[in-house]
Structure 1
Amino acid sequence: MSQLDVKTAEFYDQFWPKSVPVLDKTREYVAMTVSEAHVGRALDAGCGHGICSVALSERADQVVGVDVSSECIQTARKQAEHFGRKNISFERQDLQNLSLPDTSFDLVWCWGVAMMAPDPMKVIHNLMRVTKPGGVIYLGLYLKTWLTPFHELTRHFCRTFMNGPRRKKFVCDFFTALTHVHGTLVGRQTNLRTDNISIQAQVEDWYYPPYKTFYSIEEIVELFRRNGFEANCIQDRVGRIKSATIFVVKAVRNA
């Protein structure tokens, strides 16, 4: 791995093993998002904790989970074993240099992962490459808004000056409190993503990863269409706050 990839691996080596989501809620979200009731082979690209791999294994004959983090791979294997899923295999690979065969998957799931790589476009093109004709990609990416530069400035400050354990806890607790205040002001629940273990975990995942890239829905849909896919945005606001959210594109490869 290059040095850039090592930084990402090191962050998620410590993050996902302590932040494994709840299977029932993850299963509900996957069922709401994925319209295919049954597929042959599925790829969980950036499997992290492995819970999405477990959920996908209930509708796929075989699931391959790939992640750059060795600790994530170990965590994912434990989750598959815990839930008795025998049809999942895990590999430590860099999605930027994915070595899986061309056109080998009926379904590719890459939720909140590609934009965390140093070169997300390499990741997305690899996802397209391994998708079979008629196969489908579900891609979740951070949405670019007018507040994105402010988020990135805050993230730079946190990573540079607030990166020790005690300072990081202060940052996570502070933004968690702000999230609750925001929910009270707008009159809605603050934890819309109930598959996450805690708001603090999502704050850490928002401000502390080494790389993060934001996109517009239009540019990603057009990217897929230029590469032989029919693509549409199926979810335009997945996060708790509109300025800090993920959109999901479904792209079907032309046969």
Structure 2
Amino acid sequence: MNLRHAAHGPSRFKLAYLSLGFASLAACGSHTSPSPVDAPGKPTAPTTQALDTGAHLLQSRPPIDRLNAYLDGFHFYNGHQQAQMEAHHYCSVLNDDVIQCVIFDGNTQDAKLMGVEYIVSAALFARLPEGEKALWHSHRHEVTSGQLIAPGIPEPAEHALMEKLASTYGKTWHTWHTDQDKTLPLGMPQLMMGFVADGQADPRMVRERDRRFGVSSDAKRAARSDITAPEPLPGVDAWRQGNVIQINDPTGTSHAGRTQAP
């Protein structure tokens, strides 16, 4: 596929094809973000290492092999906007309307599996039940602000991908709250949201991410000024209207995470 042509608009490409170019680039070279916590446990025994090596060599992993798109962005706890964190998404394209991602707290081998995100097109979101829509967030501001990036791929390919993502919707649950320094996945899953306006994301958090990846969110914002995504559909980002949904945690261990000072 000619990525130069793909950059002219989402109608000129299939995201499934574009994602094929991500596979060799998703590791993102030396731009590493280690996990903020170490899990408790004994050092890996030689027998366990041998089993792991054998499984790696002998077992097939079709679902894992499809996780060939890498996105980096930011989330906050629904109902507690000041509790923010960076999220590393490794995604699989199911079709032109559905993407599924596993979310880690870093991009190194020690990264902890933090949660999942499901991404759907506007056409699919519009057909969801009204109550269900309150669980989803829009991606328009994440894209146009330059805060959502696809590290390691050529700029024309990233631009084309962002054109596609700008009109999509995500449903995100975090299951391991390492941003709260939890060394095990304690407590209940928490519903996460994405930023929808300037001034919401902690600028220091964004700057630190940009520094590690050698990018500029401001430059990406300028480069994406031609992306004209429609207004988010009714029902999404329900927290803005005071409709905050969260799972109550009877254990008391899944309180909203570390607060970032804007």
Q: Taking structure 1 as the reference length, what is the TM-score of the superposition? A: 0.31
More helix by share: 1
Q: Taking structure 2 as the reference length, what is the TM-score of the superposition? A: 0.31
